[in-house]
Amino acid sequence: MIDWLIAERNGLPPPGHILAPPELERYAGLRAEKRRGDWLLGRWAAKRLLRRHMAGRGLDLPLEAIMVLSDPDGAPRVAPWGMALALPHVAAELETLAISISHSEGRALCAMLTSTQSAIYNLQSAIAVGADIEQIRPRGAAFAEAYDTDCELALLAAAPPALYDTLATAIWSAKEAALKLTRHGLRVDTRAVTCLPAPPVAGGWASVAIHTELTGAPLAGRWREQDGCVITIVYEEGT
């Protein structure tokens, strides 16, 4: 099941109301103001999503009991703190959860894929996921030529003019999400991934066909429009 949450900068609480001590130390070490703001907003989105998920398991955790750390490649990793550390089954549940975080124009998206079976009683491996949020805006033919594959360019060439910007944004967003899942990020040529979004579905998710040799597992994706943005979530087929 796809679970996701968008947080907006308006209403963002102070860091001390969100972060555990190790996270506060990391936050204090971030020098650029925009980076600090995006990082904090992403943690707020992630912790609210994770807290909501755990509440569905019957566990009421404060935000500071859930840490969102970073692996060496920058991917977020969920870890317990405080109250959660004192409950081994809760700590184990948190450590099985995989999330992805994205930022755009004062918003942060956090997404994860979840099983219907609780990991508290049957520990499972985290389900890899990549997520991205992008503001819909004109990107133009030069942008597409620089970053898109021939198949993606053909899809855009055939798109109705009214949908061009939305589909161009969906392609880019799906690329970012796929490259997060494979842990390559934008360190590789974006044309190493081909993302072909289906037409949008009003108020719902549409599919994205994804082709890449960056991972041995076949990937699939879903995308949707949301308040002037595109949200994309990519995962391994069969999950």
Q: How far apart are the first and last CA of the chain?
A: 9
Rg (CA), the chain: 18
How many other β-carbons are positioned within 10 Å of the β-carbon of residue 41? 20
**Structural domains present in the chain:** 2-116 (3.90.470.20), 132-236 (3.90.470.20)
- Partnered with residue 44 across adjacent β-strands are none
Instruction: Say what the pTM is.
Output: 0.92
DSSP the chain: -EEEEEEESTTPPPGGGT--HHHHHHHHT--SHHHHHHHHHHHHHHHHHHHHHHHHTT----GGGEEEEE-TTS-EEEEE-GGGTT-HHHHHHHHT---EEEEETTEEEEEEE--SS-TTTS------EEEEEEE----HHHHHHHH--HHHHHHHHTS-GGGHHHHHHHHHHHHHHHHHHTT-GGGS-GGGEEEEEPPP-TTS-EEEEEEESSSSS-EEEEEEEETTEEEEEEEETT-
pLDDT by residue for the chain (239 residues), tens only, comes to: 789 999 999 989 999 999 999 999 999 999 999 999 999 999 999 999 999 999 998 999 999 999 999 998 889 999 999 999 999 999 998 998 999 999 999 999 999 987 655 444 444 555 689 999 999 999 889 999 999 999 999 999 999 999 999 999 999 999 999 999 999 999 999 999 999 999 999 999 999 999 999 998 899 999 999 999 999 999 998 76
